[in-house]
Amino acid sequence: MDNYLEVFKALGDKTRLRIMRLLSITGRQVCVCEIMDALGLPQYQVSKHLTILKNAKLVKGQRRGTWVYYSPLKKNSSFKRQLFKLLREQLSDAEFLEDERKLKRRLELRKKAQ
Protein backbone atom coordinates (compact mmCIF):
# COMPACT_ATOMS: atom_id res chain seq x y z
CA MET A 1 0.00 0.00 0.00
CA ASP A 2 1.30 3.45 -0.87
CA ASN A 3 2.05 5.85 1.93
CA TYR A 4 -0.14 8.70 0.69
CA LEU A 5 0.68 11.10 3.50
CA GLU A 6 4.43 10.76 2.87
CA VAL A 7 3.91 11.26 -0.88
CA PHE A 8 1.88 14.43 -0.44
CA LYS A 9 4.31 15.81 2.15
CA ALA A 10 7.15 15.25 -0.31
CA LEU A 11 5.24 17.01 -3.08
CA GLY A 12 4.39 19.94 -0.81
CA ASP A 13 7.45 21.85 -2.02
CA LYS A 14 7.67 23.65 -5.37
CA THR A 15 11.22 22.51 -6.09
CA ARG A 16 10.25 18.88 -5.55
CA LEU A 17 7.22 19.35 -7.83
CA ARG A 18 9.55 20.77 -10.48
CA ILE A 19 11.90 17.79 -10.12
CA MET A 20 9.07 15.26 -10.23
CA ARG A 21 7.60 16.83 -13.33
CA LEU A 22 10.96 16.68 -15.09
CA LEU A 23 11.45 13.05 -14.16
CA SER A 24 7.92 12.12 -15.22
CA ILE A 25 8.21 13.70 -18.70
CA THR A 26 11.63 12.34 -19.70
CA GLY A 27 10.93 8.62 -19.81
CA ARG A 28 14.54 7.89 -18.90
CA GLN A 29 17.02 8.27 -16.07
CA VAL A 30 18.21 11.81 -15.43
CA CYS A 31 21.51 12.71 -13.83
CA VAL A 32 21.63 15.03 -10.85
CA CYS A 33 23.84 17.35 -12.93
CA GLU A 34 21.15 17.56 -15.63
CA ILE A 35 18.49 18.43 -13.05
CA MET A 36 20.83 21.06 -11.58
CA ASP A 37 21.26 22.69 -14.99
CA ALA A 38 17.54 22.62 -15.78
CA LEU A 39 16.51 24.15 -12.45
CA GLY A 40 19.51 26.42 -11.94
CA LEU A 41 20.08 25.05 -8.44
CA PRO A 42 23.25 23.86 -6.68
CA GLN A 43 24.00 20.14 -6.31
CA TYR A 44 23.48 20.01 -2.55
CA GLN A 45 19.99 21.49 -2.88
CA VAL A 46 18.92 19.13 -5.68
CA SER A 47 20.32 16.13 -3.80
CA LYS A 48 18.48 17.13 -0.62
CA HIS A 49 15.17 17.27 -2.48
CA LEU A 50 15.85 14.00 -4.30
CA THR A 51 16.51 12.28 -0.96
CA ILE A 52 13.10 13.40 0.29
CA LEU A 53 11.46 12.12 -2.91
CA LYS A 54 13.36 8.85 -2.62
CA ASN A 55 12.26 8.39 1.01
CA ALA A 56 8.66 8.92 -0.12
CA LYS A 57 9.23 6.13 -2.67
CA LEU A 58 8.58 8.42 -5.61
CA VAL A 59 11.99 8.10 -7.26
CA LYS A 60 14.85 5.65 -7.40
CA GLY A 61 18.51 6.40 -7.89
CA GLN A 62 21.31 4.47 -9.54
CA ARG A 63 24.95 5.43 -9.02
CA ARG A 64 27.22 5.51 -12.07
CA GLY A 65 30.68 6.67 -11.15
CA THR A 66 30.50 10.13 -9.60
CA TRP A 67 26.86 10.82 -10.45
CA VAL A 68 23.51 9.38 -9.46
CA TYR A 69 20.79 8.99 -12.08
CA TYR A 70 17.15 9.23 -11.00
CA SER A 71 13.88 8.06 -12.46
CA PRO A 72 10.30 7.87 -11.17
CA LEU A 73 9.58 4.77 -9.13
CA LYS A 74 6.69 3.30 -11.07
CA LYS A 75 5.16 0.33 -9.38
CA ASN A 76 2.00 -1.39 -10.46
CA SER A 77 0.07 1.26 -8.64
CA SER A 78 -2.87 3.09 -10.14
CA PHE A 79 -2.24 5.91 -7.67
CA LYS A 80 1.32 6.51 -8.90
CA ARG A 81 0.40 6.18 -12.57
CA GLN A 82 -2.29 8.83 -12.11
CA LEU A 83 0.03 11.00 -10.03
CA PHE A 84 2.76 10.99 -12.70
CA LYS A 85 0.14 11.71 -15.38
CA LEU A 86 -1.12 14.66 -13.32
CA LEU A 87 2.42 16.02 -12.95
CA ARG A 88 3.08 15.71 -16.69
CA GLU A 89 -0.18 17.13 -17.93
CA GLN A 90 -1.40 19.65 -15.37
CA LEU A 91 1.73 21.47 -14.20
CA SER A 92 2.02 23.80 -17.16
CA ASP A 93 2.88 27.20 -15.70
CA ALA A 94 5.66 29.09 -17.45
CA GLU A 95 8.26 28.02 -14.87
CA PHE A 96 7.51 24.32 -15.39
CA LEU A 97 7.62 24.69 -19.16
CA GLU A 98 10.93 26.57 -18.95
CA ASP A 99 12.37 23.77 -16.77
CA GLU A 100 11.29 21.27 -19.42
CA ARG A 101 12.87 23.30 -22.22
CA LYS A 102 16.15 23.57 -20.33
CA LEU A 103 16.22 19.86 -19.51
CA LYS A 104 15.58 18.88 -23.13
CA ARG A 105 18.40 21.16 -24.24
CA ARG A 106 20.69 19.67 -21.56
CA LEU A 107 19.79 16.10 -22.55
CA GLU A 108 20.79 16.90 -26.13
CA LEU A 109 24.38 17.03 -24.87
CA ARG A 110 24.19 13.26 -24.28
CA LYS A 111 23.63 12.68 -27.99
CA LYS A 112 26.53 14.94 -28.94
CA ALA A 113 28.85 13.13 -26.50
CA GLN A 114 28.21 9.74 -28.11
Domains of the chain, CATH where assigned? 4-113 (1.10.10.10)
Please check the confidence at residue 114 and state whether its pLDDT lies above 70: no
Q: Residue 30 burial by CB count (10 A; 0-12/13-18/19+): exposed, middle or buried?
A: buried
Please check the confidence at residue 19 and state whether its pLDDT lies above 60: yes
Q: What is the pLDDT of residue 1?
A: 46
Alpha-carbon gap, residue 17 to 15, rounded angstroms: 5
Percentage of residues in the chain having pLDDT higher than 90 = 75
**Residue 30 DSSP class:** E
- For 36-82, how does the pLDDT look when each residue is reduced to its tens digit (9 = 90+)? 999 999 999 999 999 999 999 999 999 999 889 999 987 678 888 89
Alpha-carbon gap, residue 40 to 21, rounded angstroms: 15
pTM across the whole model: 0.91
Q: What is the pLDDT of residue 40?
A: 96
